[in-house]
A and B are shown apart, each in its own frame.
Chain A
Amino acid sequence: MHIHPLDAYRFGESPLHRLDARVKLSLVLLFILCVSLTPTGAWPAYVFLFTLVLSVAAASELGLTYALKRSFLVLPFLFAALPLLVTTRGSVLAEVSLGGWSLEVTAPGLERFLSIALKSWLAVQMAVLLTATTPLPDILVAMRALGVPRLLVAILGLMWRYIFVLADEALRKMRAREARSASAGGKGGGTITWRARVAGQMVGSLFLRGYDRSERIYHAMLARGYDGTVRSLPLKPLSSTERVVLGTGIAILFSLLLLTHFLG
């Protein structure tokens, strides 16, 4: 596989790398569903889910902080949940005065905000571990096994092959623009509309090159006997170890859900 900065896959020989992508993808999806179903403020459950993340991270041999570092991605979105601190009714924890308005931070508000932050952080870490240990073509095979239409998977597969080519093209265009217009790092030249028009023309030419390329690819495919049917290799059955891993994972997540809903 072409090694490229866009590829999130990190090469390795760990047990997690070797595990079948179908098992990994289904368990990650179930994990995220389980996180989503965990009630607000179920702190023990969050701790348990975090230990699951940590143990999977340990099995990935990428280092415990790998997923952690890449999980801060969700931080900007937390702005959306910030108003919950002051809009939820309940006992007042603290009062913040913000330019004439006095806002009351409530205990249930804080609980809800922290729960959302933790849940999204847990979910994103698991997704990071999936993409770091599974090459995208394997994930595509797993998607087909989980019932995603063959055609959509074929389109995604082709997209994956050409993303690198077109991303390189886009980077070359940006380098060319930077070389030609003065102080592109700062304000850049011209008015905003001029800069936008230049960017638009770059997008237009990228679009056109993609279009022409797709035509050439189509003819190349025709020349090699493509007749419109998407053929793929039959999926190999899961080994017994893989089935045990899948079963254990499902059992752990399901019992966690039962416990939090009936004891919590």
Chain B
Amino acid sequence: MSTLDWLYPPLATMSAKEAIATDGFSPAGPVPMHIPDGFLSTPVALLMWIVAVIGVAYALWRVNRELDERQVPLMGVMAAAIFAGQMLNFSVTGGTSGHLVGAALAAIVLGPWAAVLVMTCVVGTQALLFQDGGLLALGANIVNMALVGVAVGYAVYRTVRKLAGDKNWGLFAGGFAAGWLSIVIAALLCALQLAISGTSPANIAVPAMGGIHMLIGIGEGLITAGALAFLYAARRDLLMAGKAQVSVSRGLWMGGLAIAIVLAVLSPLASSHPDGLEWVAEQQGFIEAAREAPYQLIPDYVFPGIPNEAVATIVAGIFGALIVFAVTYLIAAARHRRESLRTR
């Protein structure tokens, strides 16, 4: 842990664990989620920047419309609070610790569009201050943690709340599931970006990132649920305020679910058919362009010697998560239908 002293000399006064929590990557995962520069191919990095700019611009417009002049102090201080909240950790075992990314918590308490802005500021500041994530890769990091993390967290929370009806357990179960899945889906997207960039083969990156973050996500889920429990006890009105936005954010709710489902299906597919990405590229005809380019967009990768069964167990885990999620969603849909029948 003394290595952190020279990584963050100014933080040497804190304990090693605090310093780890501050820099945003957890020692529990040898594969952190903030992608540094150099790991994404230029086309992937630029494409992610375009997506990030569109998403953040839309969020700015929405927040501007809903919050008016309150937004600058609220967003600024809440971004600082999330940043500081990421320092709070708890020890798991053997020197590893769990801590917060905060996308789901921000989405639940502040509403999705404000959360997108808050998380964008957090991720951007981490890149600028600590080189925690690259600048060219910042677009991808914003997409993963600020856009997809928030959308998935928000959608899952809303789904579970719907499922629980008026009961309190929905708040905590929803918070846990939102925190957990927002981390896992963001990690899967990160793995896909690395795979498309040719940095990490899909059949290794997806199960590895997915598997590790299924564990890391538990910490996120527990902290999110704990924070919601505190807010429920201290300022119930804040959590109930979120209910007012129900009609406004239905599109995002569905969008977040769609992102979660598509990524949960796509990633295991990409990893069980490592040539799948290449196949898509071939179908789309841009593989020729990729081959002619001085840098390779999609390199050939095969993994000799690794029996697929070893990987298959982890893939099965991802599929398991997907099935659980699908069942939850179906129950929610059925319940919704029942309720709408009853009110008719």
Q: Name A's B-contacting residues (CB within 8 A).
A: 5-8, 28-29, 32-33, 35-37, 39-40, 69-74, 76-77, 79-81, 83-84, 86-89, 101-104, 112, 116-124, 127-128, 131, 136, 139, 149, 151-152, 154-163, 165-167, 169-171, 173-174, 184-188, 192-193, 195-211, 213-215, 217-218, 221, 226-228, 230, 261, 264
Are A83 and B204 neighbours in the complex by a CB distance under 8 Å? yes
Best-buried of B37, B45, B82, B83 by chain A (most CB within 10 Å)? B37
Choice from B81, B88, B204, B304 contacting A199 with Cβ under 8 Å: B88
Are A197 and B222 neighbours in the complex by a CB distance under 8 Å? yes
Q: How far is the CA of A3 from the CA of B269 in the complex (A)?
A: 50
Q: How far is the CA of A76 from the CA of B18 in the complex (A)?
A: 18
Are A201 and B125 neighbours in the complex by a CB distance under 8 Å? no
Q: How far is the CA of A122 from the CA of B91 in the complex (A)?
A: 34
Are A205 and B234 neighbours in the complex by a CB distance under 8 Å? yes
Are B231 and A208 neighbours in the complex by a CB distance under 8 Å? yes
- A28 proximity list for chain B (CB < 8 A): 135
Are B131 and A155 neighbours in the complex by a CB distance under 8 Å? no
* Chain B nearest Cβ from A175, distance in angstroms: 10
Give 5 A-B pairs besides A188-B91, A198-B226, A210-B81 with Cβ atoms closer than 8 angstroms: A151-B60, A158-B80, A162-B80, A170-B84, A174-B87
Q: How far is the CA of A170 from the CA of B56 in the complex (A)?
A: 28
- A86 proximity list for chain B (CB < 8 A): 303-305
* Chain B nearest Cβ from A137, distance in angstroms: 12
Return 30 A-B CB contacts under 8 Å, by A number. A5-B14, A6-B10, A6-B129, A8-B10, A37-B295, A76-B30, A76-B31, A77-B39, A83-B200, A84-B201, A84-B301, A89-B302, A131-B128, A160-B80, A162-B77, A185-B15, A188-B90, A196-B223, A197-B229, A199-B90, A199-B98, A201-B226, A203-B102, A208-B230, A208-B234, A211-B81, A211-B235, A214-B74, A217-B77, A218-B73
Are A80 and B128 neighbours in the complex by a CB distance under 8 Å? no
A156's closest neighbor in chain B, by CB?
Answer: B121
Q: How far is the CA of A201 from the CA of B124 in the complex (A)?
A: 26
Q: How far is the CA of A200 from the CA of B84 in the complex (A)?
A: 13
Tell me whether B156 is interfacial, beta carbon within 8 Å: no
Q: How far is the CA of A180 from the CA of B225 in the complex (A)?
A: 22
- How many chain B residues have a CB neighbour from A under 8 Å? 108
- B225 proximity list for chain A (CB < 8 A): 197, 200
Tell me whether B99 is interfacial, beta carbon within 8 Å: yes
Q: How far is the CA of A152 from the CA of B231 in the complex (A)?
A: 27
Tell me whether B281 is interfacial, beta carbon within 8 Å: no
Q: How far is the CA of A42 from the CA of B69 in the complex (A)?
A: 51
Choice from A81, A124, A159, A201 contacting B77 with Cβ under 8 Å: A159
Tell me whether B76 is interfacial, beta carbon within 8 Å: yes
Q: How far is the CA of A196 from the CA of B84 in the complex (A)?
A: 17
- Given A5-B10, A5-B13, A167-B87, answer yes or no on A87-B222 (Cβ-Cβ < 8 Å): no
Choice from A33, A152, A196 contacting B117 with Cβ under 8 Å: A152
- B155 proximity list for chain A (CB < 8 A): none
- A218 proximity list for chain B (CB < 8 A): 70, 73-74
Are B30 and A79 neighbours in the complex by a CB distance under 8 Å? yes
Q: How far is the CA of A264 from the CA of B200 in the complex (A)?
A: 25
Are A83 and B91 neighbours in the complex by a CB distance under 8 Å? no
- B83 proximity list for chain A (CB < 8 A): 159, 163, 166-167
Are B35 and A154 neighbours in the complex by a CB distance under 8 Å? no
Tell me whether B36 is interfacial, beta carbon within 8 Å: yes
Describe A's contact surface by its main secondary structure.
Answer: helix
Tell me whether B294 is interfacial, beta carbon within 8 Å: yes
- Given A39-B294, A170-B87, answer yes or no on A162-B135 (Cβ-Cβ < 8 Å): no
Choice from B105, B135, B201 contacting A207 with Cβ under 8 Å: B105
Are A83 and B18 neighbours in the complex by a CB distance under 8 Å? no
Q: How far is the CA of A26 from the CA of B305 in the complex (A)?
A: 46
- Given A83-B204, A86-B304, A208-B234, answer yes or no on A73-B131 (Cβ-Cβ < 8 Å): yes
Tell me whether B327 is interfacial, beta carbon within 8 Å: no
Best-buried of B92, B105, B131, B295 by chain A (most CB within 10 Å)? B131
Are A155 and B7 neighbours in the complex by a CB distance under 8 Å? no
Are A214 and B78 neighbours in the complex by a CB distance under 8 Å? yes
Q: How far is the CA of A173 from the CA of B128 in the complex (A)?
A: 26
Best-buried of B39, B225, B234, B302 by chain A (most CB within 10 Å)? B39
- A202 proximity list for chain B (CB < 8 A): 88
Are A207 and B124 neighbours in the complex by a CB distance under 8 Å? no
- A7 proximity list for chain B (CB < 8 A): 10, 129
B76's closest neighbor in chain A, by CB?
Answer: A158
Tell me whether B72 is interfacial, beta carbon within 8 Å: yes
Are A207 and B81 neighbours in the complex by a CB distance under 8 Å? yes
Q: How far is the CA of A244 from the CA of B182 in the complex (A)?
A: 47
Q: How far is the CA of A213 from the CA of B15 in the complex (A)?
A: 28
